Each structure stands twice: as C-alpha cells, then as structure tokens.
Amino acid sequence: MEAKEVIISIIKANCILNDKLSASLKPFKISLQQFNVLRILRGQKGLPANLSEVHEKMVHKMSNTTRLIDKLINKTFVKRNTCKQNRRKIELFITPSGLRLLDQIDLIVKITEEKIIEKLNTKEKEKIVSILRHLNN
C-alpha cells in the first residue's frame, strides 16, 4: 500500500463530503465554513469565544477567519466586542438570529451528514476516526 494511495483517498473523500455539505447549506445562503463558526459559537453556550479560539478549531488562515466573521456580522448572525480585560482580543457571540438560523439548518445538515456516511457501520466509523486522529497527532 503506497502512501500516495492513502493520501488520495483522503483528499477525494474530503472533496465529496465538502460538496455535499455545501450543497445542503446553499438554500440558506451560508458557506460550510460560516456554518462551522456558528456551530462553534453556539457550543460556547453564551460564553464569548475569542477569534483565535475560533480559528484554532477551524481549518483556515487567521486573516481569513477575520473576514469570514465579518460576513457573519454583516448578516447579523454574530456580534463582536473588543475584550475589556485585554483589548487586543475580541469576543465573539452568536446572536439570537444566528441561533434561529442554526435551528433551521440543523436537521438538514444532520441528515446530509448521516447520508454521507450511511454506508459505514459502527466499527468502520470508530476505526476511521481513530486512525485519522492517529495521523493528525
């Protein structure tokens, strides 16, 4: 088994999965990355997240995370404050309208995600996550 094969199979899987998820988000005029940011912020359960925390959980260059969030702010789904304790940092919150959007989107994304991996059984899912985690560390 050549390294190349393994790598290509990961790249292709990513591509397919990205296409399907993006397509399911299209009616909501939101990109996959924007959706991910909103999900991360919701995960904070009211606590602010600062930009670098969000950035770490993403797969982006920092500069583009800024602009990604600019867009979410324009759409009123996110609010940005500079942090009182450390004015270099900024605090990010998801707004009520952002939460409402996620409410609308959640189900369709969940269905899409499950459809993507529907052919995998429990063991395979566990296996792939553990192998990939292994690869990433």
Partner DNA sequence: ATATTACATTTGTATTTACAATTGTTGTAG
Partner DNA sequence: CTACAACAATTGTAAATACAAATGTAATAT
Q: Does the footprint of DNA cover residue 26 (CB under 7 A)?
A: yes
Candidates 39-47, 52-60, 107-115, 120-128: pick the segment binding DNA (CB under 7 A): 52-60
CB of 72 vs a copy of itself, minimal distance in Å = 19
Kindly tell me which of 27 and 131 has the beta carbon lying closer to DNA. Answer: 27
Q: Does the footprint of DNA cover residue 90 (CB under 7 A)?
A: yes
For residues 72 and 37, is the Cβ–Cβ distance under 8 A?
yes
Amino acid letter, 26 = K
* Most distant pair of Cα atoms in the chain: their distance: 54
Secondary structure letter of residue 57 according to DSSP: T
Residue 66, contacted partner among a copy of itself, DNA, none, CB below 5-8 A by kind: DNA
Measured CA angle at 95 (ends 92, 101), to 5 deg: 120
- Candidate residues 67, 100, 110, 127; the one interacting with DNA per rule CB under 7 A: 67
- Candidate residues 17, 44, 51, 116; the one interacting with DNA per rule CB under 7 A: 51
Closest by Cα among 131, 137, 121 to 6: 131
